[in-house]
């Protein structure tokens, strides 16, 4: 019985083992089939051959085939011993897990590879498009039909010129062509032709040659042995009335500004790397030369203060929150501008028609001052003759004198002559030799609604109660006709009348005159009705009419006639002293233009009389008694 049981158990174990081997064979076959599908039959055979597993893969022995699977999956050519039947289940589990891992990784790699290939294809296509566009740009250039049309229109516009050529012809090219400003020119040249050139402010009326003088002065001093200006020294010209800037320094054409990479349009290569770029202004363009600012008195006060700082430093410094000195992408020239500033070593020449007192005191303290004078009729006549020569026209002998009666500016004189030239050419377009007559000039003057600039208020002979005073407006002097009349009135109840429009200081001059009349004559003007009148009206700014008012009242009260070719100016004090006043040169000039032959001025103003003055006698006086001697011969 025991023997039968043992035999039965052995048979059962043998049957189970045979069933397991059969299942293992099926598993091994399935794995080989899976690998053949995964790698491909040819690649699987080639792989088995390289790993010395081809014979094991083709073997009928289950254990050898399992070993072949192990070699292929692990890609290990090392010779291993044939596994026993007990080891086969563990190896099959290991092989199945490794196979699943390889297939999963290969699936992920294929999926990623597909995505990468797609991305590479997109990048490749974008790159090809960029290359094509670059090739098109390089081959075709920046132009297209629209831009070429605009360029053609611009070329046509450049060919159409009107007054530009005439201005170029009439502009002075040398010092000799600037007429009537000999003193100012000598001063200007002396300030520039020196090892220590100074900043300059030029004062004077418009149209007398300030801008032209500055331009030709630079060209003149370039050849002077003491001059620091090189042959290439620039002359940068700008108008103070048109200078515009942003207080945030976003833009500043005068001093320069920083263009940040985001908002202000730095270069493309700098914008891409986030580097700010300083843009140099006119002060840097003028480095080594002259910066000329016309109408400097009209400049924005804050901008002017910034300019004064540049005059002190001789450099312009820039600042930007975008600037990083440690950034390797910052070009060296930008680092230099931020760290050392831009050079701005120049001579400033400013021109203005304003009164000196109206200018910024800080500006005046940094500059020497040059005064240009109004043109006299003789100067205007010389300019007209010079202009006629430049235009190549003939003029009648009366033409210069006629024009000089209507203008005191060289620019306006040239405009009148040029208009007359155009009038003649319009009427006779085929005329080769143009001759401008007095009739042509008068027609231009009439159409321009111009009147004689100076009215000759000087009369011949003597007149009681009338005298010529002198006023000044800006840089021009003018003669004031002051007349006075006195009537006996009720004792102590007399009335003094004066122009209401003359101003409070002028009325005070009348009261000072009343005190002086009482001192001189013993007469109390309260016993008279006194009327003082400024013919033509107008505001008298300041006390300078005091002497004239006193003499007019004295003449009327004492019935003493006054010589009518004499003009007077000066403040009268209640002690009888003639006090100094301003604008002496302009007042003398105005008196001369009005036809006066003598002018009385305060003694303290004698130093203000130009040495080159001709055609009028200037008499300095200290007090009212000296004035009476000259006016009445007392």
The whole-number pLDDT of residue 532 equals 85
The average pLDDT across 350-376 equals 89
The whole-number pLDDT of residue 85 equals 76
The average pLDDT across 445-455 equals 80
Range in 149-153, 340-344, 380-384 the model is least confident about: 149-153
Considering 227, 257, 509, 544, which one is annotated as catalytic?
Answer: 544
Would you list the domain boundaries of the chain? 1-160, 171-371, 377-447, 462-632
The whole-number pLDDT of residue 284 equals 93
Those residues with Cβ within 8 angstroms of residue 233's Cβ, 6 or more apart along the chain or in another chain: 218, 222, 288, 289, 290
Mean pLDDT of the chain: 81
Asked if 276 and 262 touch (Cβ cutoff 8 Å), the reply is no
Q: Which CATH superfamily is domain 171-371 in?
A: P-loop containing nucleotide triphosphate hydrolases (3.40.50.300)
* Calpha distance 377→172 (Å, rounded): 19
Considering 47, 71, 579, 587, which one is annotated as catalytic?
Answer: 587
Of the spans 12-16, 52-56, 314-318, 581-585, which averages the highest pLDDT? 314-318
Of the spans 31-40, 520-529, 559-568, which averages the highest pLDDT? 559-568
Q: Which of 294, 291, 480, 288 is nearest to 372 (CA)?
A: 294
The whole-number pLDDT of residue 267 equals 55
Tens digit of pLDDT for each residue in 519-539?
888 888 888 888 888 876 655
The whole-number pLDDT of residue 11 equals 44
The average pLDDT across 31-53 equals 78
Report the run of H or E that residue 486 belongs to, with start and end.
Answer: strand 476-488
The whole-number pLDDT of residue 81 equals 76
Give the global pTM.
0.68
* Calpha distance 553→35 (Å, rounded): 136
The answer to whether residue 320 is catalytic is no
More confident residue, 499 or 365: 365
**Which value, to the nearest 10 degrees, does the dihedral of the CA atoms of residues 373, 375, 378, 384 take?**
140
pLDDT beyond 60 at 8: no
Asked if 152 and 331 touch (Cβ cutoff 8 Å), the reply is no
The whole-number pLDDT of residue 12 equals 41
The whole-number pLDDT of residue 13 equals 47
Tens digit of pLDDT for each residue in 225-243?
888 899 899 999 999 988 8
pLDDT above 90 covers what percent of the chain?
13
Tens digit of pLDDT for each residue in 54-99?
777 777 787 777 777 777 777 777 767 787 777 778 777 877 888 7
pLDDT beyond 60 at 390: yes
The whole-number pLDDT of residue 7 equals 42
Cα 345 to Cα 289, 314, 460, 464, distances in angstroms:
8, 5, 58, 62
Tens digit of pLDDT for each residue in 544-555?
788 888 888 888
Range in 133-137, 207-211, 409-413, 425-429 the model is least confident about: 133-137
What is 462-632's CATH number?
A: 3.30.230.10
* Calpha distance 548→554 (Å, rounded): 10
Cα 492 to Cα 286, 507, 525, 528, distances in angstroms:
71, 20, 8, 8
CA atoms within 13 A on the CB side of 543: 15
Tens digit of pLDDT for each residue in 295-321?
999 998 899 999 999 999 999 998 887
Among 3.90.480.20, 3.40.50.1820, 3.40.50.300, 1.10.8.60, name the CATH number for the domain at 377-447. 1.10.8.60
The whole-number pLDDT of residue 590 equals 82
Range in 89-93, 136-140, 420-424, 471-475 the model is least confident about: 136-140
More confident residue, 604 or 145: 604
The answer to whether residue 212 is catalytic is no
Banded pLDDT at 432 (limits 50, 70, 90): confident
Q: What is the number of helices (H) and of strands (E) in the chain?
A: 22, 22
Backbone dihedral angles phi then psi of residue 309, each to the nearest 5 degrees: -65, -40
pLDDT beyond 80 at 444: yes
Tens digit of pLDDT for each residue in 132-148?
767 666 665 666 677 77
Strands 235-239 and 290-294: parallel
Backbone dihedral angles phi then psi of residue 552, each to the nearest 5 degrees: -65, -45
Of the spans 18-22, 37-41, 196-200, which averages the highest pLDDT? 196-200
pLDDT beyond 80 at 189: yes
pLDDT beyond 50 at 10: no
- Helix axis angle, 2-39 relative to 62-74, nearest 10°? 40
Q: Per-residue DSSP letters for 579-601?
A: E--S-HHHHHHHHHHTT-SEEEE
The average pLDDT across 178-198 equals 89
* Calpha distance 457→454 (Å, rounded): 9
pLDDT beyond 70 at 624: yes
Among all chains, which residue has been given the structure tokens 């597909």?
A: 114
Asked if 348 and 293 touch (Cβ cutoff 8 Å), the reply is yes
Those residues with Cβ within 8 angstroms of residue 359's Cβ, 6 or more apart along the chain or in another chain: 201, 296, 297, 352
* Calpha distance 552→465 (Å, rounded): 5
Q: Which of 466, 625, 464, 454 is nearest to 548 (CA)?
A: 466
Neighbours of 225 (CB within 10 A): 5
Tens digit of pLDDT for each residue in 101-127?
877 777 777 777 787 777 777 777 777
**Which value, to the nearest 10 degrees, does the dihedral of the CA atoms of residues 441, 443, 448, 454 take?**
60
The whole-number pLDDT of residue 70 equals 78
For residue 17, the Cα-to-chain-centroid distance in whole angstroms is: 104
The whole-number pLDDT of residue 500 equals 63
pLDDT beyond 90 at 346: yes
DSSP designation for 37: H
The whole-number pLDDT of residue 455 equals 61
The average pLDDT across 333-354 equals 90
Which tokens in the block code for residue 240? 């103070």
Q: Which residues pair with 621 in a beta bridge?
A: 602
């Amino acid at each position: 019985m025991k023997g039968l049981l043992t035999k039965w158990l052995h048979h059962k174990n043998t049957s189970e083992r045979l069933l397991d081997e059969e299942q293992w064979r099926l598993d091994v076959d399935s794995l080989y089939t899976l690998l053949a599908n995964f790698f491909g039959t040819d690649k699987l055979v080639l792989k088995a051959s390289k790993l010395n597993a081809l014979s094991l893969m083709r073997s009928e022995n289950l254990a050898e085939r399992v070993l072949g699977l192990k070699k292929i999956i692990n890609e290990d050519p090392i010779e291993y011993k044939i596994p026993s039947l007990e080891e086969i289940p563990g190896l099959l589990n290991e092989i199945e897990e490794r196979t699943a891992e390889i297939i999963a990784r290969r699936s992920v790699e294929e999926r990623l590879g597909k995505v990468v290939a797609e991305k590479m294809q997109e990048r490749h296509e974008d790159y090809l498009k960029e290359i094509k566009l670059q090739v098109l740009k390089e081959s075709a250039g920046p132009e297209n039909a629209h831009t070429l049309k605009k360029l053609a229109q611009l070329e046509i516009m450049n060919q159409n010129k009107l007054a530009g050529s005439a201005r170029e012809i009439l502009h002075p090219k040398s010092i000799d062509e600037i007429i009537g400003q000999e003193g100012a020119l000598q001063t200007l040249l002396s300030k520039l032709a020196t090892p220590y050139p100074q900043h300059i402010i030029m004062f004077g009326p418009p149209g007398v040659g300030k801008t032209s003088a500055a331009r030709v002065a630079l060209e003149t001093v370039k050849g002077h042995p003491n001059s620091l200006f090189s042959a290439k020294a620039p002359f940068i010209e700008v108008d103070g009335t048109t200078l515009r800037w942003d207080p945030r320094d976003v833009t500043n054409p005068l001093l320069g500004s920083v263009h940040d990479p985001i908002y202000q349009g730095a270069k493309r290569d700098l914008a891409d790397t986030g580097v700010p770029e300083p843009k140099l202004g006119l002060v840097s363009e003028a480095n080594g030369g002259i910066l000329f600012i016309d109408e400097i008195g009209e400049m924005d006060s804050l901008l002017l203060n910034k300019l004064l700082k540049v005059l002190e430093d001789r450099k312009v410094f820039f600042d930007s929150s975008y600037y990083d000195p440690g950034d390797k992408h910052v070009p060296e020239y930008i680092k230099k501008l931020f760290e050392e500033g831009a050079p701005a070593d120049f001579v400033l020449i400013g021109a203005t028609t304003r009164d000196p007192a109206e200018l910024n005191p800080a500006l005046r303290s940094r500059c020497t001052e040059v005064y240009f004078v109004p043109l006299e009729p003789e100067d205007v006549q010389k300019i007209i003759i010079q202009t006629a020569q430049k235009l190549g026209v003939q003029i009648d002998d009366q033409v210069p004198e006629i024009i000089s009666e209507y203008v005191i500016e060289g620019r306006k004189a040239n405009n009148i002559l040029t208009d007359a030239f155009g009038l003649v050419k319009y009427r006779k377009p085929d005329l080769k030799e143009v001759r401008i007559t007095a009739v042509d000039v008068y027609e231009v003057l009439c159409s321009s609604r111009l009147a004689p600039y100076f009215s000759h208020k000087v009369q011949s002979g003597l007149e009681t109660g009338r005298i010529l005073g002198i006023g000044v407006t800006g840089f021009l002097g003018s003669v004031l006709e002051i007349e006075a009349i006195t009537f006996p009135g009720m004792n102590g109840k007399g009335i003094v009348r004066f122009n209401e429009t003359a101003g409070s200081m002028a009325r005070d001059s009348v009261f000072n005159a009343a005190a002086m009349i009482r001192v001189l004559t013993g007469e109390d003007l309260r016993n008279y009705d006194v009327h003082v009148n400024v013919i033509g009206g107008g505001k008298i700014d300041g006390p300078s009419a005091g002497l004239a008012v006193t003499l007019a009242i004295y003449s009327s009260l004492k019935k003493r006639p006054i010589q009518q070719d004499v003009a007077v100016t000066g403040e009268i004090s209640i002690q009888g002293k003639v006090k100094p006043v301003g604008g002496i040169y302009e007042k003398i000039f105005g008196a001369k233009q009005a036809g006066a032959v003598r002018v009385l001025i305060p003694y303290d103003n004698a130093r203000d009389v130009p040495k080159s003055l001709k055609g009028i006698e200037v008499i300095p006086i200290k007090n009212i008694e000296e004035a009476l001697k000259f006016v009445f011969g007392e």
